[in-house]
Chains A and B, each alone.
Chain A
Amino acid sequence: MPFSLRRRLLGLLLGAVGTVWLLLALSSYFDAHHEIDEVFDAQLAQSAQLLLAQATHDIDEIDFEHERFKHKYQRRFIFQILDQTGHVLFHSAGAPSVALTSQAGYSDVPLNGERWRVFARWDADNEYQIQVAERHAMRSELARNIALRMLLPALAALPLLALLIWLGVSKGLSPLARIAQDVAGRAPQHLTPLDTQRSPHEILPLVKALNELFSRLNMALENERRFTADAAHELRTPLAALRVQAQVALRSQDDAERRHAIEQVVAGTDRATHLVEQLLTLARLDPDAARAAHQPLDLRAVAMETLSLLAPAVVAKHIELSLTEGPSVTVQGDAGMLGILLSNLVDNAVRYTPEGGAVTVAIYGQNGRVVLEVSDTGPGIASTEREHVLQRFYRGTAAGTSGSGLGLSIVRRVAELHDAALYLSDGEGGRGLRVRVLLQQARKPENQSQL
């Protein structure tokens, strides 16, 4: 579900600012209330003293109710004057005829459904007591007004703030828009990295990830291009051979020569077919599809099936092909692909092994991994050359063989898709070549028998 970053930021910022302002207003309300209480209490006390002083002389002459000028904050208070027994001698209009409180000093008292603040004190001779009271509500109203006065302009400024935030966020997000534009405007082949210098810290991880993706894509594309070019080039030689042999056959006067040339045409066609098949195999080793098909399988069974298919051709070359005895071993993988891997390894070994030689396949466990090993008694591969032989279309220095140059590339590819390591070394007693593929054991513990 796509959402707008700008709207989100706007909402968050406005929410945060609003909350802070409200807290400030609340705090100033309480603060003001407290101060107002102090001041009013002091004045209440003062009024009490004043009234008391006057009351002892001439109570009747006091008229609080009919003042001519009234201010909205003018304090309206009531009072009572009591004698020592607590009897109300006199009370102002609106004051009850029973004592408001029995407590001396400040107290809060309910009266007519409102809260009143009362101050009670005795005169100097302890003859009369005066109780002065005023409504609490007035104080709260005053504090509220102070707080609101603070809050209102801020609330009025909120739309302006929102506009500024909106513009600011737009400005702040402009690098993102620039990068999006950069990526959107690219041709599919244009995979140069984005400029990390001009990217802000916050989106640098994204830019770097994109750049990494670009470079991986670039490599994949480059691989593809090179593969196609290599493949086309590799097909040229067998085609040239076919053409030349056919021409030789056409113009030959000698029957044996013509026959030889035509046989060569047939052999050349087989070889070109093999090359095309190998190319297709390599192209079909699609990593995503491959990994999905991995499951526990019996490697020995795969090996037996593969070798039984290869055996007739190998035996015809007078080469001994064998699979060493051992327990069945379960690995995680794709049976079809592992079969391709093994048949390429064996095919390669047979190709380079002279008549009377031997090709041996062994399967065993080692350090928690499963080793699939193919050794031959051929010329082997010099250690300096082992790196190269895994590359596409590389043929060993032992001239005179007619491989496609793809066999070991296919082996490497299948190994990669199985997260398997591939090792080339000298064969038994330094003779021939030994290829070892280290495969993963099957994940399910009940399947790893005898390892």
Chain B
Amino acid sequence: MRILLVEDDLLLGDGTRVGLAQAGYTVDWVQDGRAAQLVLETESYACVILDLGLPRMSGLELLKHLRHLRNDTPVLILTARDTVADRVSGLDSGADDYLVKPFDLDELAARIRALLRRRGGRTSSVICHGEVELDPAAHTVCLAKQPVELSPREFSLLQELLENAGRVLSRERLEQSLYGWDDAVESNAVEVHIHHLRKKLGGELIRTIRGVGYMVDKEAT
């Protein structure tokens, strides 16, 4: 899961980035509104964590701009402003959630999971697909009720595929969700991770669409 963190405070940005990385997210961090706008125009993120008091372009402006462009990436506002009016204007500008500083890293992670879950149209936090069960909060995967050991990257890849079940995801898209700007991407990393996933979870789960990408079938409901 790749998340964009927009925060101008160096200490807070650094801590949040590391904290979210510990929770298994890939985090890109920008420090002003204009930079965030540029990044959001070219790359896609599972979620944006947005500070409001930003240099060059305020968080609210950025949010309105984003929604104006019909970009529906979930946005969580992270701010020191805590009045009801502030919250209302934040949510009305298109934010999906609102968290007031200082906050707890666990709560931030839980709210991000909730945002991603809702975006996937699910009500339960655990994603089930056939015999595979993925719990984003506990960071565990079970196959036929038996726990399966996955590396963080494999876990992220599986989550991305399961959350987008029924859609073909290109190799580039998957790469983006796995690696932040600072990470070196190995040329065939996605193939390697898919290979490992198939070995651990069976070859049937992930299908290769040649020349396009990978997908997990949508479950018949």
Contacts and interface: CB of A to CB of B under 8 A. Distances in A.
A241 B80 contact: no
A240 B51 CA distance: 12
B80 A261 contact: no
B203 interface: no
B55 A399 contact: yes
Contacts of A241: 9, 11-12, 15
B102 A242 contact: yes
B8 A264 contact: no
Interface in B175-197: none
Contacts of A247: 15, 19, 104-106
Interface in B117-139: none
Contacts of A252: 18, 22
B11 A248 contact: no
Given A243-B103, A243-B104, A237 B18 contact: no
B10 interface: yes
A180 to B, nearest CB: 38
B103 to A, nearest CB: 6
Given A264-B15, A397-B32, A237 B9 contact: yes
A233 B80 CA distance: 5
Nearest to B101: A240
Given A248-B18, A399-B32, A268 B80 contact: no
Contacts of B81: 233
B73 interface: no
Contacts of B103: 240, 243-244
A257 B32 contact: no
B12 A237 contact: yes
A330 interface: no
B14 interface: yes
A131 interface: no
Contacts of B8: 395, 399
Interface in A99-146: none
B55 A397 contact: yes
Given A251-B22, A261-B18, A244 B55 contact: no
Interface residues of B, number: 24
A18 interface: no
Most chain B beta-carbon contacts within 10 A, residue among A237, A240, A242 = A240
A59 to B, nearest CB: 122
Contact residue range for chain A?
20 to 34
B31 interface: yes
A239 B32 contact: no
A248 B9 contact: no
Interface string A222-254: 000000000001101111111111011001100
A397 to B, nearest CB: 4
Nearest to B55: A397
A268 B81 CA distance: 20
B31 A399 contact: yes
Given A233-B81, A252-B22, A402-B9, A244 B15 contact: yes
B56 interface: yes
Interface in B45-91: 55-56, 80-81
A294 interface: no
Interface in B25-56: 31-32, 55-56
A238 B11 contact: yes
Nearest to B10: A402
A173 B104 CA distance: 65
A271 interface: yes
B11 A400 contact: no
B16 interface: yes
A203 interface: no
Contacts of A5: none
Given A243-B102, A396-B55, A248 B19 contact: yes
Nearest to A233: B80
Interface in A375-399: 395-399
A264 B19 contact: no
A267 interface: yes
B85 to A, nearest CB: 13
B139 to A, nearest CB: 13
Interface of B: 8-12, 14-16, 18-19, 22, 31-32, 55-56, 80-81, 100-106
Q: Which 8 A-B pairs have the closest CB atoms?
A: A244-B15, A240-B102, A240-B101, A241-B11, A241-B12, A236-B80, A399-B31, A245-B15
5 contacts: A241-B9, A243-B104, A244-B16, A248-B18, A397-B56
Given A243-B105, A247-B106, 8 more contacts: A234-B80, A236-B80, A244-B12, A244-B19, A247-B19, A248-B19, A257-B18, A271-B11
